[in-house]
Structure 1
Amino acid sequence: MPPLLLGLLTAFLVLALDQGSKLAVLRWSESWTGPGQQILPFMDFVYLWNTGISYGLFPQGETGRWVLLAIKVVAAVLFAAWLARTSRRLEAIALGLLIGGALGNAVDRLVYGAVFDFISLHAFGLRWYVFNIADVAVVVGVIVLLYDALFTRASKTPPSDVSR
């Protein structure tokens, strides 16, 4: 499969999984009697609208909603331009994860005015921030790009001749 197609397929799958999971949890949450549902001993699904940026920092009003939406769309377009020029499959997958994640949260901002976060991890009395599938895709995409840049490309770079 060509890298461009692989990246676009990855982006589409992330977007579909993100939006599908959000819709499913939103519908399911209508029947909850409490603030959330335990899924695993270390994971709950909760109902949280994030009007800010990562970790709910800097909550935004209506203007901020559109600014954050524009940033997500511009990022997706820039990643798509990068994707169109790559010939490497791992890089294409990472860019697809970033595009799908950015668009997943952009759809939330456009439709709802905020991003729906619902996954809450916890252990030993400590709780991590609440996130969604799009957030996971963005983090994994960045990690894959870093791995690719530091290890995959570096191992293919010919050693320089230091004796000159």
Structure 2
Amino acid sequence: MLKLFTETGWRFLWLSVLVLVADQYTKALVLDNIELYQAIQILPFFNFTHVYNYGAAFSFLHDAGGWQRWFFTIIAFAVSALVLWWSKQTTKQQIMLPIAFSLIIGGAIGNAYDRLVHGYVIDFLVLYYQDWYWPAFNVADSAICIGAVLLIIDMFKNKEEKND
């Protein structure tokens, strides 16, 4: 059993827990300290703005009537289970891939927890330039995006190594 957590990608699952804790902690701070729709300017291009996302990325299906809450929750747990299984398949020599998997798992579970408990995802990080605003996001979304970028980098890195 110890080998499972020392010689596979599961050795990075602490990162999933760290993402989950950081995500839920920051969301609790937002709930306790920022009114809904209140924006607090941090930098000339960055606000903390308390909003709810009833859909998926970029509020996709936010007005679908409620079924999307359960649909996205099921998808998050199914993807997390699949990624957890993939992570177990990685070797001790692989580092970037299991780190990417762990970031994705932590982020997916963080947002799924919000959907289960609140019925929506709490978002609060907003980037903008003049009148152009990037959709609000959170720590979990950031972890998922970083994990996805690392997956892409790993894919190209491994392709180059196989061609050598």
The ranges of structure 1 where at least 4 consecutive aligned residues each deviate by more than 3 angstroms after the TM superposition are none
Conserved 8 A contact 1:14-1:134: yes
Uncovered stretches (5+) of structure 1, i.e. residues with no partner: 160-164
1:95 aligns with 2:111: no
Match of 2:3 in 1: none
Of 57-66 and 10-19, deviating more is 57-66
Alpha-carbon distance in 2 for matches of 1:46, 1:6: 35
For structure 2, the residue ranges without an aligned partner over 5 or more in a row are 1-5
Tell me the TM-score normalized by structure 1.
0.88
Corresponding position of 1:136: 142
Alpha-carbon distance in structure 2 between the residues aligned to 1:109 and 1:143: 25
Counterpart check, 1:110 vs 2:116: yes
Aligned pairs, number: 156
Give the C-alpha shift of residue 19 in structure 1: 0.7
Cα contact 1:38–1:44 (8 A) shared by 2: yes
Structure 1 pair 158/63, CA: closer, same or farther in 2 (3 Å)?
closer
Structure 1 or 2, whichever has the larger Rg, is 1
Normalising by structure 2, what TM-score? 0.88
1:60-87 residue CA offsets vs partner (Å, 9 max, x unmatched): 4332211111010101110000011111
Equivalent residue letter for 2:113: V
Secondary structure of 1:130's aligned partner: coil
86, 94, 98: which one pairs with 1:82?
86
Instruction: Select 2:12's aligned residue among 7, 13, 17.
Output: 7
**Distance in 1 separating the partners of 2:116 and 2:131:** 35
CA apart distance, 1:145: 0.5
Letter in 1 for 2:160: S
Q: Percent identity?
A: 34
Amino acid paired to 1:54 = A
> What's the offset of the Cα at 1:154?
2.2
Q: Deviations over 1:13-41 (max 9, x none)?
A: 111111111111111114x8x72111122
State the AA in 1 paired with 2:25: G
**Structure 1 residue corresponding to 2:40, chosen from 37, 42, 61:** 37
Could you tell me which residue of structure 2 aligns to residue 162 of structure 1? none
Measured on the aligned residues, the alpha-carbon RMSD in Å equals 1.7
Question: What is the CA distance between 1:124 and its match in structure 2?
Answer: 3.3
